[in-house]
Structures are given as C-alpha cells and as structure tokens.
Structure 1
Amino acid sequence: MSDRTQVTLDPETRRRAQAKAAEKKISFAEYVRRLVVDDLGEADRKLDISTVFDLAEEGPETEIADQKDEMIAEAILDVHPSQRGRKKMKLKLKSRRR
C-alpha cells in the first residue's frame, strides 16, 4: 500500500525534474519514487511463509503437486475449447523437476 506524499519544489527544480522524467519516458511521480529508492536502497521485506504454504486450514489433503500438469492442461482447454480433440496438439505438460 502506498502513501500519498506532498513535496514542495521551486519552479526551476520541478521543471528540470519533469523534463528528466519525460526524457526517461516515465511520469514525474515515478521519477521521484526511483530517486528515493536509489538513495535509500530497497527495504528489507520480511516475507510471511504462510502466504505460500498452509493456505487451506481445513478439508481433505490434495495431490495438487502430482496432478498439476493435468490441471494446467485442463485450464488451457477451458480457455481454448477449439483445441480440444486436436491430435497434433499435445497439452500434457512435463515438469522439469523429478
């Protein structure tokens, strides 16, 4: 989530900064954000492992890892039903991990 911040610049500094942003083909706000991040460095974000694991707290265990290739192929066929039944198209995906 971003916070809105107001910064006061003298007219010449603002004009030069806007010209530099236009030269880089980015917005003035993005130019300022990049300057601040470049000066401060990226913040160390502590990631919560629960965002990846233990997403479901109840219900039966699943075999998603074993069935992911078939699930992806089925999702592709749901989006592109005209491909269903084509002999030349192989939708069985193979994982690189073994």
Structure 2
Amino acid sequence: MSARTQVTLDPETRRRAQAKAAEKKISFAEYVRRLVVDDLGEAETKLDISTMFDLADEGQETDVANQKDEMIAEAILDVHSSRKRRKTTKLKLRSRRR
C-alpha cells in the first residue's frame, strides 16, 4: 500500500526535476519514486522457513513428490463434494419454506 508524502523543494530544483521527468516521459511523482528506490536499493525480505516446511505437526507424513497427483485429486473431490452438500442444504431449505 502506498503512503502519500509531501516534500518541499526550492523552485529551481523542482523545475529541473519536472523537466527531467518530462524528458523521460514520466510524471514528476514517478520520477521521485524511482530516485528513492534507486537510492535505497531493493528491500530485503526475510522469509520465515516455516512457510515452506513444518506446516503441520499432526497427521500422517506424506510424500508429495510421489503422491502429488493423488493428493490433488483428493483435494478436488473434497471441494466438489462440499459444494454438492451446500447445494443440497439450500434445496432443502427452499423446499421447507414453500
């Protein structure tokens, strides 16, 4: 999410910066954003290793490399059957109201 920031520049610096932005065919705001990003460099994001490993502490161990097709099929069937149950429930509710 972006945050609005106000910066005060002397008139000559602002004029030169606006001319440079126009030369690059970008807005003054984009020109300033690029300067800040270039000066700061890329932000380093530290990822928590638990986002990739040890996601569950319970249940049977799985071998995703060898069982991925079976696991995907099972997940699809679970979603499909839960949708089917919801539709049945809605139909029952509608029929009771009539």
TM-score normalized by the length of structure 1: 0.48
Mark the structure with the bigger radius of gyration. Answer: 2
